[in-house]
Structure 1
Amino acid sequence: MLNLQLLFESKQQFQIELDKININTDSPCLVRVYACNKEENEIADVVNDIESILSKSKIIGCSTSGVIYKGKQYEDHILVIIEQFRETDVITGLVEYTNKTPREVVLEMKEILGSVKGKAMHIFSGAQWIEITECVELINQILPDLKLTGGIAGGEIGHDKIPFVFESSKIRKEGIVFAAYINDDMNIFCDANISHEPISSVYSIDSVDGCYLKSIEKTPATDWCFEQFGIEKLEEYRFWQQIVENDELTKFPLILEGHHGVSRFLHYDSTKGKMSLYQMKLPENTKFRIGYVSPTRCVKECHDICVRIAKEPIESLFCYTCVFRKLYLENCAEWELKPFASANISGAFMLGEIGWNVDRNEVFNGSCVYFGISEEESYITPDFSVFNDLYRVHTDDDKLVNFVLKKQSLAMTHENQLLMDKLLDQQEKSKQQLFQDSITGLGNTLKYTNDKKEMHFNKMCLIQIENFNLLVSRLGQEGYHELLKDATRKLHHYLVCLEDAEKFNYYILNDSTLFIAAGSMVTKELFIKHIDYIYDHFQTMHFDAVNEVLINRFIIVNADKNLLETGILALKECQSLQTHYVDYNEIDENRGNSLEKEEEILNVLNYAIDTDNIIPYFQGIHDNKHQCINKFEALMRIVDEDGNVYVPSQFMDIAKKYHLYSKLSISMIEKVLTLFDGSNFEVSINLSAYDISYRSVNEFILQKLSKMKDCKNFVFEILEDESFKDMEVLRKFLKEVRKFGVKIAIDDFGIGYSNFMAIAQMAPDYIKIDGSIVKNIQRDELCKKVLENIVFLGKQLNVEIIAEFVEDLIIQEEVIKHKIQYSQGYCFSKPVPFAHLTLS
């Protein structure tokens, strides 16, 4: 998919931005528009400008209380998101809700969607419809497979502007707009940071009148609030900043029972003398607990979401967050976005958020909902380093403590006193939970980072549970967690008995890895001594109750800097070693530079992708019969900001490790096919097992070929050293591309395939002899015999042969002697950019 995010300034600027990413203006796309503090006529003009350029676009949007663009907050701006898909359809609609029940609205939405099943859907509601919660509940029932994201249209409370929603030119104050993604294979990421901690027992709402609460626990709602919070005088505040600074009720959201932390905020309506909810209502007999807004909980949830995001394929990440988050907790909406700033996260401030929470769609209040989509395996890497500072967020803790102390100095009811005491206890518990793994009780990586500042760790032992996946499959996640807790207890009982036990600290990295860290106060000899002893006792751990065994691998790392990062790298690099005890420092003397080099190449890759500096180079292939170069092989290069050129051996492993390979491959294929479209010269493009097996790359190739003028001069080189898990996928792909006249070559032949029958079934047009064989045919008799057999095979299969790595005339003489049709190598041509080729 192609994704463009921008702050709309003019039609001309919009066109320039579209041109930068090669959006096809004649193809369908979804455009979402978020208008912060704009009039309806302004939005109508913007929509007209967009439609004049993207005539087949589907446009939805709403007014908002602010927008987020590339991780930064803006007011009085228009945010535009354009998504153009390769294999996803989009259905949009607008339903007016005036004089309709929520069920009628949902059934009308279902009618627009028709028989197709959407996988996910953006949904925006006008701010006047307090039935939105019931509407979402009905969507859960009627369209149970649909994951929602969106919210209630925003604006400035206290101003006369009424929020609105729109689909193309249809702008409505009382309506719902939506856009559903239709693609069963699309990757969807949904999560929510709620950050509200319960501090009371369960209460019940007895009676309601629309969005007004009449009585709670058989007490008038206004009296109940005074009783609980010790608020002597209830007042109404009209503007957001006034509400956050002065309305003490915003400190205590109502956390709904059975909804996994979903909350509602109360405010006082002075015109009616009643307690009211913001923009929505609750049914009678709703159960809830009093909660408070916890900054430490917010940081922990943000950290956990980052961990989940790093594991999920995401091409575009968006968030719907509450305007409250921009105002309270010293602007938590700003600091909770920092981990995603490098991922260019965008978002909108709503008056209520809609999203998926655990197992159902919910309407949130005061939360941040994250939504990510992807058609391919493209990953976002959050910046975890920001948590080094985020865990210190405590600004509003001080305000909360002062509030509690103030209330406790007044004459208070017994209920009120219990609530305030509970608040202080829960606040301290939240701080502890920020640094603690909820399953094992061990310190987490945030705790490690905090401790490292004081203890200056420079030694670590990672204990990896090697049969983790097998245990989870047999015991289930809960059963495995019980086993993990038992294992950490056993390890703890031993560690506390160690010599200098207080100098050893242990933590949990993830469900399958624990680690022990120590600083310079523990000598290397002592550290190794203890780890050896632990290894002797805990390399295998038997659990008779479930008849299971934990098999553990121990990896020791020493590093003055980036200790944990080096440990994680060691886990990956030591996977293939056939030993359960590894001293990483002994096997990798160059480890000190490995992380820095990896980071350097990763930065180059990201720069090349962002700036479209993935450059095809071309090496000529010499026709030995006609004594000329009439074919070329395309070879990938990337260029950094200083103009340095990198070859695949320098970056390809890291590109695959960080899930960037498909972006490189698609860019390369598209450029080569475009450059040689209609050419009289053959060009070959390398394809890996990943390219052919991964659906989005596979279909991109077929789609691109369908748009070419003539494909008879395109050759796909199948890398012979790549293993295909499903040969049927390969055969199907070859059959499809041959319909366009594309030829097939087997690359690097002679070093991988042992199944000659499989080669015969592929019926290649060319076989390229691996360069390691060609360049040694003079001095290695075995290489000469292998080459002769490949040439014989080619004749039997009527396949033309290309010899690679023909570096000089001496090797070329051998190639001619064996009657090989084509030669490729520095003897005839070095790889050069397209502009340097002579195609005449």
Structure 2
Amino acid sequence: MIHQGSIHKNATLLVFTHFKNVSLSSAVVNYTDHLLADSSNFAQKLNLQSNSKAIICFASRMEFARQERITQFSQFSPVPIFGGASSRTDGGRWVLLGNEFFENAIVGVAFHSDTLHLTSECYTEWNPIGRQLTVTKATGRNLQSLDGESVHTVYDRYLGDSKSVPLELLQHFPLIKGESKKQDVYLPLSLSENGILLNRELKVGDKVRFCFDHPSLTLGQVQLGAERLQKFQPDQIFVYNCLSRLEFMHGNTELIPLQEVANCYGCYCAGELIRTGEHQQMLHHSLTFLALREGEAQTSAETPAEESQGHNVIAPLFSLIRNALADVDRMNRNLEKKIQTQASLLTASYRVDKRTGLPNREVLHERLALMGNNDHLITLKLTNFSLINEKYGYQVGDKLLQDLSDHFQQYMNKMLAGRSNLYAIGVGEWACVFRSDFDSEYIHQQFSMFVEQLENFNFEPYGLPEVDYLSVSLCAGFISRRDFPNLGKDELLLRSIEARRFAQNQNRHFYCASDLRTRDQVRQEQLSWLSCVSRAVLGKNVQVFAQPIVKAKTHELSSYECLVRIEDNGEIILPGRFLPIVEGTHLYSRLSRQMISRTFELMHSRSESFSINLSPQDFMSDKTLRHLEDAIQKLADPTRVGLEVLETEQIKDYGHMIEVCNHFRSLGASIIVDDFGCGYSNIDEIVKLEPQIIKLDGSLIRNIDKDVKQRKIAQQLVRLCQVLDAKTVAEFVHNEEVCRISEDMGIDYLQGFYLGQPSRLT
């Protein structure tokens, strides 16, 4: 954080700015896959006007490939954007607006005023290095060759003395085209066998150079900029600086010139936003500022510039060149040392978990590839770690991870000396690969004893002397290579983790992957049904079947209940086979919306009333509700529509349900409660939905001709519905006797195979 030109770490910065004649508007936009739509949506939500002067914006997860949300903003508004992209923290990447945190979103505040003046500047020095290189082969963003040579060969020769250079180091030396001030920089994103994927497209014939940026090169420019800024007379300066500059700058050296002009506040970002000329940009390794002044600047007498006297500049010029070359040599030597240091640090961090110091998942994968028949894998998880963090704080949690790692290591050294390796594979997650001739049952017994000892051990909270006891809860999954001789390393780890998750769900300490084989068959069957439904949705093979609902006594048609089916390879599949598997997934929502579209399409030209089934998941999906609302509003007579509320016992937010039901009732639709009397029904909450129709569950109706108790229960429910002024429907009317008894009870409508089976709606 930057507070009055000083840098503060591990702190929260609040800046209160008082404006006399400025109005503000704010907005948040959650990311979608449509970058330009996000940018347009952001502009619209900010309600930009002719007197809008600037936007201060913060964005999370603004990768190179996704920065069009910012860089293309000029298509929708000329108002400049300043600010930055959030950096990674232990708590993730997030931005804040009001009192709410957002991930994968962009937030901003716009300034609207006729008297607000601003100026801005950015300082970055992408310095071309070496000769020009010509692009000789490129496909889109995939650069394949420079000067007729493989781009890998060129990079390795210049940066690694013909040795292979990792991507992390390539990204410090992007390519630059044209003038460096235009920031026309092309950053390597990933490597492939035949090229390097860049963040932007290069064309054959383009001239490029390697370039490098060192923030300290901009110090002189900042001083000159501060002198120019003095004439602007700003009231306040907002600074958005790059995190990388903290590695090169000593203290607040580059902020002092700006602070001497006006108070500076701001932060360090992972990408800096600024508008230069007609272009909105996201810079890197840059210092940017936005200076604001309300009202006109005060006039003051300017000091006349001193007249320069002519001097012979040839000798100083050559001296400058000689010293510049010496500086380049020194910079190259220093840069080489820095690269070696960074490479060593990167290699170490790539293979070591920073919290525990243990080898990480990458090293585990190497070991799993070498597993023999007598090798085993255990994955462990500290199941109450999040609770410990919430109660005692992250410092205590990190110390606990270190203590547990030490306990695990000591136990392995004692029981399996020289035959085991311990790895940290996640926060509060470990894996141990060991060699043993014992069977799974014996290993289970030994591990359970060890876990029981650990769970009764007091891990004294670090730094909290007033808390005298801290316990842990662990669970583990186990897999033996001899049980799965043909599995690859990734599948071995996955099976062990699945066994651990099953143990946690079953409140056990330990579970063996070999005991989950029967669950694999169930999982495969579920995946098969998911694929089947996905094919039906993508191929628009969702079919609508309609079952008649008739009036009691006369048996005249009253309406149709529209029922979902899917067609796969010519077979019509009933919902009982696939709905339980897709419920709760995004696929269910897509299926539901296609069912709505197909039903209204088929019923649009007909005159009969009809109803569709909606689950609690549908009522919680804004996209599904908007889709349904659009379909209803296109009907000439919306009163034909009935919305059947399913699974009322699973409704969590009745307040929201009541609002939704009232809204659709206002559009003309009828609200129908389905399966009334089945399982646990919160009658008080259902009454608040004010349904016009209540359908008695078929489990009560189907046996009323044989079961006197069920008949009495059904009779009481009918009376209750009459008190609620709701019409009743009896489902599962499957024979004449059930039909007659239902009518004698006073039920208004009947539905069932006796009166009509579901048939395809055409």
| TM-score by shorter chain over 0.5 | yes
1:636-684 CA-partner distances (Å, limit 9, x unpaired): 33444x3454444444454345543322222222332333235322222
Partner of 2:474: 552
TM alignment of 1:486-635, pairs within 5 A:
486-499=403-416, 501-516=417-432, 523-539=439-455, 542-545=458-461, 546=464, 547=467, 548-556=470-478, 560=484, 561=487, 562-570=491-499, 577=506, 579-583=507-511, 590-635=518-563
- 2: CA distance between counterparts of 1:420 and 1:609? 57
What amino acid does structure 1 have at the position aligned with 2:104? Answer: F
- Indicate how the Cα distance of structure 1 residues 563 and 150 shifts in structure 2: closer, same or farther if over 3 A, else same: closer
Conserved 8 A contact 1:621-1:631: yes
- 2: CA distance between counterparts of 1:279 and 1:815? 81
Partner of 1:663: 590
Query: CA offset at residue 544 of structure 1?
Result: 1.5
What amino acid does structure 1 have at the position aligned with 2:183? Answer: M
Conserved 8 A contact 1:717-1:744: yes
Query: CA offset at residue 524 of structure 1?
Result: 1.5
- 1: CA distance between counterparts of 2:146 and 2:385? 52
Query: CA offset at residue 455 of structure 1?
Result: 0.8
**Structure 2 SS opposite 1:237:** strand
- Indicate how the Cα distance of structure 1 residues 539 and 165 shifts in structure 2: closer, same or farther if over 3 A, else same: closer
TM alignment of 1:346-495, pairs within 5 A:
349=201, 359-362=269-272, 363=282, 423=339, 427=343, 430-431=346-347, 433-455=349-371, 460-477=377-394, 479-495=396-412
- Indicate how the Cα distance of structure 1 residues 279 and 242 shifts in structure 2: closer, same or farther if over 3 A, else same: farther
- 1: CA distance between counterparts of 2:570 and 2:708? 43
Partner of 2:214: none
Partner of 1:727: 654
TM alignment of 1:643-792, pairs within 5 A:
643-656=570-583, 658-677=585-604, 679-792=606-719
- 2: CA distance between counterparts of 1:603 and 1:235? 54
Partner of 1:309: none
Query: CA offset at residue 418 of structure 1?
Result: 7.8
Query: CA offset at residue 727 of structure 1?
Result: 1.8
Percent of pairs with identical residues: 20
- Indicate how the Cα distance of structure 1 residues 322 and 236 shifts in structure 2: closer, same or farther if over 3 A, else same: closer
**Structure 2 SS opposite 1:236:** strand
- 2: CA distance between counterparts of 1:507 and 1:716? 54
Query: CA offset at residue 483 of structure 1?
Result: 2.7
What amino acid does structure 1 have at the position aligned with 2:615? Answer: S
Query: CA offset at residue 613 of structure 1?
Result: 3.4
**Structure 1 SS opposite 2:664:** helix
What amino acid does structure 2 have at the position aligned with 1:632? Answer: Y
Query: CA offset at residue 601 of structure 1?
Result: 2.9
Conserved 8 A contact 1:802-1:823: yes
Query: CA offset at residue 619 of structure 1?
Result: 2.9
Q: Normalising to structure 1: TM-score of the pair?
A: 0.55
- 2: CA distance between counterparts of 1:165 and 1:144? 15
- 2: CA distance between counterparts of 1:355 and 1:646? 59
Question: Alignment length, in residue pairs?
Answer: 555
Partner of 1:793: 720
- 2: CA distance between counterparts of 1:728 and 1:807? 37
Partner of 1:265: 173
1:761-805 CA-partner distances (Å, limit 9, x unpaired): 222122122222233434544433322221221222222222223
Query: CA offset at residue 324 of structure 1?
Result: 3.9
Moved more, 537-546 or 792-801: 537-546
Query: CA offset at residue 733 of structure 1?
Result: 1.0
- 2: CA distance between counterparts of 1:614 and 1:83? 32
- 2: CA distance between counterparts of 1:632 and 1:456? 63
- 1: CA distance between counterparts of 2:44 and 2:370? 55
- Indicate how the Cα distance of structure 1 residues 680 and 459 shifts in structure 2: closer, same or farther if over 3 A, else same: farther
Partner of 1:12: none
TM alignment of 1:278-289, pairs within 5 A:
279-280=182-183
Partner of 1:333: 197
Conserved 8 A contact 2:500-2:510: no
Query: CA offset at residue 730 of structure 1?
Result: 1.2
- Gaps of at least 5 residues in structure 1 are 1-79, 94-108, 116-137, 155-163, 177-182, 192-207, 214-221, 226-233, 253-259, 282-320, 335-346, 367-411, 836-840
**Structure 1 SS opposite 2:544:** strand
Query: CA offset at residue 712 of structure 1?
Result: 0.7
Partner of 1:201: none
Query: CA offset at residue 736 of structure 1?
Result: 0.6
What amino acid does structure 2 have at the position aligned with 1:803? Answer: A
- 2: CA distance between counterparts of 1:676 and 1:452? 59
**Structure 1 SS opposite 2:635:** coil
Query: CA offset at residue 556 of structure 1?
Result: 4.8
- Indicate how the Cα distance of structure 1 residues 554 and 648 shifts in structure 2: closer, same or farther if over 3 A, else same: farther
**Structure 2 SS opposite 1:709:** coil
1:532-564 CA-partner distances (Å, limit 9, x unpaired): 222222345532224433222345567624444
What amino acid does structure 1 have at the position aligned with 2:197? Answer: A
Query: CA offset at residue 817 of structure 1?
Result: 4.4
Structure possessing the higher radius of gyration over alpha carbons: 2
**Structure 1 SS opposite 2:639:** coil
1:700-731 CA-partner distances (Å, limit 9, x unpaired): 43344333322111111112444333221111
- 2: CA distance between counterparts of 1:653 and 1:775? 23
Query: CA offset at residue 459 of structure 1?
Result: 5.6
- 2: CA distance between counterparts of 1:521 and 1:277? 65
TM alignment of 1:801-820, pairs within 5 A:
801-809=728-736, 811-820=738-747
Query: CA offset at residue 739 of structure 1?
Result: 0.7
**Structure 2 SS opposite 1:627:** coil
- Indicate how the Cα distance of structure 1 residues 663 and 796 shifts in structure 2: closer, same or farther if over 3 A, else same: same
- 1: CA distance between counterparts of 2:101 and 2:756? 43
**Structure 1 SS opposite 2:753:** coil
1:15-38 CA-partner distances (Å, limit 9, x unpaired): xxxxxxxxxxxxxxxxxxxxxxxx
- 2: CA distance between counterparts of 1:153 and 1:437? 29
**Structure 1 SS opposite 2:604:** coil
- 2: CA distance between counterparts of 1:572 and 1:808? 48
- 2: CA distance between counterparts of 1:89 and 1:437? 41
- 1: CA distance between counterparts of 2:705 and 2:445? 55
- Indicate how the Cα distance of structure 1 residues 796 and 186 shifts in structure 2: closer, same or farther if over 3 A, else same: same
- RMSD value, Cα: 5.2
1:165-210 CA-partner distances (Å, limit 9, x unpaired): 898899x9xx99xxxxxx999986379xxxxxxxxxxxxxxxx998
